[in-house]
Amino acid sequence: MAKITYIEFAGAEHAIEVKPGLTVMEGAVKNNVPGIDADCGGACACATCHVYVDAAWADKVGKPSAMEESMLDFAEAVEPNSRLSCQIKVTDALDGLIVRMPENQH
């Protein structure tokens, strides 16, 4: 299991043990963590699972694909560390990962 800490926009923290193989999005949704909508269920079709990856984890998480990047381009309040959490596969190497949620998912 990999511990992932999801931090809501208003500051509430949720430390969740997520099974490797799931995505960071699934780890949140399946544990009822508020702030990640994931309307399309992980098809990279909607940009409603937007998160900010903690700076210390940027390298381990890696870069978005071209498809993800073009979706992110139009999400609200995008930052250089923005990712779609449905496109981040959880591995043992991500044990300890911290992601923050934006104010809105659109």
Partner 1 sequence: MEPTAGRIVIVGAGHAGGTAAALLRQHGWTGPITLVGEEPIAPYQRPPLSKAWLKGEADAASLALRPDTFYAEADIDMRLSERAVAIERGEDGGTVVLESGGRLPFDRLILALGSRARRVALPGLELANVLELRTAADADKLKAVLRPGKRLAVIGGGYIGLEAAASATALGCSATVIELQPRLLARVAHEILSDFILDYHQARGVEFRLGSGVAALEGEEGRVSAVRLSDGSLIDCDAALVGVGAVPNQELAEAAGLTCDNGIVVDLCARTSDPAIYAIGDCTRRPLPHYEQMWRLESVPNALEQAKQATADLCGTKPPSPEVPWFWSDQFDLKLQIAGLPLGATQVVVRGHPPTARFAIFHLDASARVLAVEAINAPPEFMAGRQLIASRKPVALDRLVDSTISMKEVAV
Which residues would be at the binding site for partner 1 (CB under 8 A)?
26, 29-32, 34, 37, 39-41, 43-47, 67, 70-71, 73-75, 104, 106
Instruction: Give the residue from 36, 37, 52, 49 showing the smallest Cα distance to 86.
Output: 49
Min dist. Cβ of residue 54 to partner 1 (A): 23
Give the separation between CA 73 and CA 46, rounded to whole angstroms.
Answer: 12
In the structure encoding, which two tokens stand for residue 91, read together? 């591995």
The closest of 60, 81, 62, 82 to 72, measured between CA atoms, is 82
Residue 29 near residue 53, CB atoms below 8 Å: no
Which residue lies nearer to partner 1 by CB, 42 or 54?
A: 42
Query: Closer to partner 1 at the Cβ: 26 or 52?
Result: 26
Q: How far is the CB of 92 from partner 1 (least distance, A)?
A: 19
Closest to partner 1 by CB, 13 or 39:
39
CB of residue 59 vs partner 1: minimum separation in angstroms? 25
The CB-of-67 to partner 1 minimum distance in angstroms stands at 6
Structural tokens at position 90: 């959880």
